[in-house]
A and B are shown apart, each in its own frame.
Chain A
Amino acid sequence: MQVRIPEERVEQVSRLSRIILREPFQTRCWAELGYFLASSVLAFAVVVALAVLGIAGLILTFALVGVLILAGGLRAARAFGRWQRALAWQALGDEVAEPEPPIAAPGFFRWLRATWSDGTAWRAVLYFAAKVPLTIFGVWFALSVWIEALLGLLSPFISNRGSTSFGLLGHLTAGNVDGGSPVGLAAHFGVFMTGILLLFIAPWPMRIVVSLDRRMMHLLLGPNSSATRVRSLQESRSRTIDTATETLQRIERNLHDGTQAQLVALAMRLGQAKEKLEDLGDDAGEAADLEVIRQLVDEAHRGAKEAITDLRDLARGIHPPALDTGLENAFTTLAARCAVPTEVQVSIQARPSPAIEAICYFCAAELLANVAQHAGASRASLSCAQHGPWLRVVVRDDGRGGAGINRVGSSSSGLAGLADRVNAVDGHLSIASPSAGPTVVTVDLPTSA
């Protein structure tokens, strides 16, 4: 009697054996081996480098240089993470998403703080630290099989093969292969055959190790867990909404108290004049009435012109037309309008985003207005320069100084508003204004928001 094997079973087994037989001839399996070797070397170098930086940093902490060295180490960890991702991409075609860029902050101390609190860098450090035990495990669990297989295959060409078995197979095959005893050709043949057998087994432990590594890489070298980013975005969004609402309220207030009141007064005068004109028709020719009408129309005319000016100012406050042709022109216009002689210097490579341009403009406008109103200055300067992804606007005057962000009083509330506006796009406003002057206000803004 013949044992009947179900057809699908036969199919499964043959598919499986085909996969196993083909595997050593797939590029993927050699790529994984290559990746393991290369990434182990990289991890070793990185761990050594980070350890040296870390120890040096800790030893020198008292001299403050240590803090710098540690910060440098964190920045380096970021770079190492990038290399590791590039390696994974080159060797395995595995793309790990780019983590968010470090928070670029101008100024030394803010750079230091941003670097120290850079989660991405710390996670990269963690990755390489975890890579050490993983590599040791990989050598023992997977690389040993490969080495055994290759040694077995090469054994006919190696005259005196010592007991090279180590790792997992070292334990399993200990005593089986004893190169010292005269087992002759048969033993050599056995070793060779074992090599061939192991060649088909070796890809699989390696795959396990590499996929563990990939898991870890995605976890630690990819974008930050979204939570922190979400929180910071939420904060900046609520600030933005507040600022936008405040802006709208200000516009409404201006319209209500200014233009609308003017127009109502204007309509009132015209209404009066109209009635007087009608009365005039009834009892013809009263010179006194004519004079009153002339006066009413005159006032209405003046009111209309004032309303136009007010509206224009208001429109300019919403979006300055001067900005249409770029910051340089807008700043020149601002400086020309300023009561204090103002020198303008603008060096920008590319136009920043419209929102940033507008904030730049309003900052400059407000700061120059402050100079004219409060500083008692004889000269002022307005400069705007691009430093990489940052835009720095500096307004300087030789006035009496003493300016500051004052959220309670009304005198400097304009500065507080500016600071909020700047913060809303992750920018920064700082004031240096000693009591005898000069005052320097520096606004740093990202070029895009």
Chain B
Amino acid sequence: MADADAIRVVIAEDSAILRDGLVQLLTDRGFAVIGAVEDAVGLVQSVASDLPDVAVVDIRMPPTFTDEGLRAAIELRREYPKVGILVFSQYVETRFASELLAGGAAGIGYLLKDRVADVADFAEALVRVASGGTALDPEVVTQLMGSSRRTDALAGLSGREREVLALMAEGRTNSAIATSLVVSEGAVEKHIANIFSKLHLPPTPTDHRRILAVLRYLEV
């Protein structure tokens, strides 16, 4: 179980039933829910005053129920780059994902609401986003891949390398990828090194490369 202690969360969700459920679930798992609001305006205020580690944001919120949450998320990203944003939506929209990831994938998550059913995975994703990682829904990854304008950058990758890359895009760790593909962690590391070199990503001090690879992969 991911370490949720002292992670400060703000929740923006217009459906009361879901908001209450999320508050209860996250509190139960040790997160510190410091705000639960029902619209984008409340979200921006709450983030500005409390500076949480991560904000869980529903895309469709009042007043127009279109993309208020996303607009607010992009604004927050600009103003408070340290605050992780987990966008939380009933549907996956490629345009939303692209806009969200345009400024980099660090501390960004985009999950389908259904994922809360797997409580542990959801909490883990939230922890990851709060600590600057990425959590993309497999659905998001598939759609972005499908809409990718240029695939030749990835043409050089082997089938296995692509699988590894897709799992990286979801934000999985090396060990999680190894478990998922039923290979050793060493094998995963080798694949990842190959991916980096094939995508011409030189080594850097941080593991920023991971995110760059994912972004290249997703063509955003």
Contacts and interface: CB of A to CB of B under 8 A. Distances in A.
B172 interface: no
B114 A264 contact: yes
A265 B17 contact: yes
Interface stretch (A75-83, A268-276, A381-389): A268-276
Contacts of A264: 18, 21, 90, 113-114, 116-117
A275 B119 contact: yes
Name the residue among A253, A257, A265, A275 with the largest chain B CB count within 10 angstroms: A265
Contacts of A275: 119-120
B184 to A, nearest CB: 27
A267 interface: yes
Nearest to B117: A267
A265 B16 CA distance: 10
Contacts, number: 45
A303 interface: yes
The secondary-structure label for the interface of chain B is helix
Nearest to B16: A261
A267 B22 CA distance: 11
Contacts of B25: 268, 272
Contact of A261 (B15, B28, B65): B15
Interface string B18-41: 100110010010000000000000
B90 A271 contact: no
A256 B90 contact: yes
A260 interface: yes
Contact of B117 (A261, A262, A268, A292): A268
A27 B39 CA distance: 86
A264 B13 CA distance: 13
Interface string A265-301: 1011111101100000000000000001000000000
Contacts of A256: 60, 90
B120 A268 contact: no
Nearest to A274: B119
A250 to B, nearest CB: 12
B18 A267 contact: no
Contact residues on A (Cβ < 8 Å of other chain), bracket: 10 to 19
Contacts of B120: 275
A269 B21 contact: yes
Contacts of B207: none
Interface string B108-124: 00000110111110000
Nearest to A261: B15
Given A256-B60, A261-B15, A275-B120, A268 B90 contact: no
A267 B114 contact: yes
A270 B119 CA distance: 9
Name the residue among B22, B65, B117 with the largest chain A CB count within 10 angstroms: B117
Contacts of A257: 14-15
Given A261-B15, A262-B17, A275-B119, A268 B22 contact: yes
A267 B116 contact: yes
12 contacts: A257-B14, A260-B90, A260-B113, A261-B15, A261-B18, A264-B116, A265-B21, A268-B21, A268-B116, A270-B117, A272-B25, A275-B120
Interface of B: 14-15, 17-18, 21-22, 25, 28, 60, 65, 90, 113-114, 116-120
Given A265-B18, A267-B114, A269-B21, 10 more contacts: A261-B18, A264-B18, A264-B21, A265-B17, A267-B116, A268-B119, A271-B117, A271-B119, A275-B120, A303-B17
Q: When A and B form their complex, which 10 residue pairs have the shortest distance between CB atoms, in order from nearest?
A: A267-B117, A261-B15, A271-B119, A265-B21, A268-B116, A271-B117, A264-B113, A265-B17, A268-B21, A261-B18
